[in-house]
Amino acid sequence: MSNVIKNIVNRKTNHIAGTFAISASAAFLNGAGLGKGEDKNKSTVKSFWKNKRIPYVSSQAWRRWLRNTIHSETGWIQSEIEAVGWNNDGNTSKIAGQLDPIKYQEDDIFGYMFASGKETKVDKEKSKKKTARDRLPKEQLIRTSPFKSSLLSGVPSLTRVSEDEGYVHLKDDTPLPYTTQFYSGELTALFGLEIYRLGIFERKGKTNQELDPELFDKYNDKLEKIDHPIYSDGFVIKRNNLIEYQNELAGEVVKSLAKLNGGAKLAQFAADTAPKLLIIVGMNSPHILFDNILISQDGEPAIHINALKEIISDYKDKITTDLYIGIRTGYLANEADLRDLTSIDGVNVVINTPSKVAEEFSKVLN
């Protein structure tokens, strides 16, 4: 067994589980398009029903925010998403990022899918003009994302949808009315990161490969063949210490998440989307934790401390780090009770600001 794979198989913390909350104060973070019928001049927010209308931000949207934040925080080269296929009318029919996790770290972290197919005449003509790629993969590629994410959804008891009535006033005609939905309240999301998969690319049959075979030759000096029964045939990034590489990428994800920045209609509804609450823990299993941990206490956001204790107690045999809780001062109604926590059933509790706990957590991965 190579030392690289031996270290990965035996690493103590191979997964990160967490949750975060943002405070949407009169915000429009993710649109659902225009209304129907008489409401065609109404911009609507994405929402679902759970006894009442609950606004949400799609996982795709806030993952894009996170990618953009990572780029601005780290300076990593962006894996641009481009059109790579067109129908006979010349409209886009297929898109892809750069599909190169060796050069683009975000392709390693967020994964990708590329369905191979016969290149049409239109594809050949368009690709010469619209992309900088010298080639496309000849085989199907599927790298499921090591980073897992839920919807960023409103807490029912703490979120309310409203409408803003506005007018465009014209110089020589009647004003044009329009309506924009927006919401105020607390939105939460769950996330997980399979650290042990970073830098490792398996080949699970010819039609299920994580890495373009033609990259093997391109990066011959940067890849090492995998020879271990736990992993299928594939390659690993050649490093003196791959765990350090995995920890570096995981740390940048967590630190960027603490400074998350994004959203729609910011010119009209500017919003601070950096988490007011961030909970992170390292684990040796791929569980997603901390659902429904943010509740209402006298109309203000609060942590369900008893539920938090139950979760930690139930999973303490799988937890490999301290429990890190980042909170913005004054955000939680029961902040004092939370700050009194020093440990839960043998698991130490570290409390600081969201950015500082993300920084501290990134230093203890092992």
Query: What is the model's pLDDT at position 315?
Result: 98
Looking at the predicted structure, is the pLDDT value of residue 188 above 70?
Answer: yes
Other Cβ atoms within 10 Å of 225 Cβ, number: 11
Mean pLDDT of the chain: 89
pLDDT tens digits, 259-310: 999 999 999 999 999 999 999 999 999 999 999 999 999 999 999 999 999 9
Q: What is the pTM of this model?
A: 0.92
Spell out the residues 6+ positions from residue 17 whose beta carbon is closer than 8 angstroms to its own.
190, 191, 192, 280, 281, 283, 287, 288, 289, 290
Residue 41's pLDDT band, with cuts at 50, 70 and 90, is confident
Q: Nearest 5 degrees, angle CA 286-CA 289-CA 292?
A: 155
Smallest CA-to-CA distance from 263 within 254, 255, 272 is with: 272
| Per-residue pLDDT, 101 | 94
Amino acid identity at 317: D
Residue 8 has pLDDT above 80, yes or no: no
Residue 93's pLDDT is: 84
Q: What is the mean pLDDT of residues 91-112?
A: 93
Residues 162 and 183: their CA atoms lie apart, in Å, by 6
Which two structure tokens, joined as six digits, stand for 263? 């959203």
Residues 155 and 294: beta-carbon distance below 8 Å: yes
Q: How confident is residue 1, by pLDDT bands cut at 50, 70 and 90? A: very low
| Contacts for 314 with CB less than 8 Å, ≥ 6 apart | none
**Sequence-ordered list of residues with C-beta below 8 angstroms from that of 211, at least 6 positions apart, any chain:** 101, 141, 143, 201, 203, 234, 235
pLDDT at 129: 57
Confidence class of residue 122 from pLDDT cuts 50, 70 and 90?
Answer: low
What percent of the chain is modeled with pLDDT above 70?
89
Which is more confidently placed, 130 or 118?
A: 118
Own/partner pairs, 58-63, CB within 8 angstroms, 24+ separation = 58/30, 58/151, 58/152, 59/149, 59/150, 59/151, 59/152, 59/189, 61/29, 61/30, 61/152, 61/262, 61/264, 62/149, 62/152, 62/189, 62/260, 62/262, 63/110, 63/147, 63/149
Mean of the pLDDT values across residues 2-22? Answer: 82
Q: Report the pLDDT value the prediction gives residue 256, as an integer from 0 to 100.
A: 98
Q: Is pLDDT at 6 greater than 80 in this prediction?
A: no
* The two structure tokens encoding residue 181: 């939905």
Looking at residue 3, what is its pLDDT?
Answer: 61
Could you tell me the pLDDT band of residue 124, with boundaries at 50, 70 and 90?
low
Among candidate residues 287, 282, 239, the one with its CA nearest the CA of residue 108: 239
Phi-psi category of residue 238: left, alpha or beta, with phi > 0 → left and psi -120 to 50 → alpha: beta
Spatial separation of the C-alpha atoms in residues 78 and 206, rounded to whole Å? 28
What pLDDT digit, counting tens, does each position of 353-363 carry?
999 999 999 99
Residue-wise pLDDT tens digits, 233-245 = 778 887 778 889 9
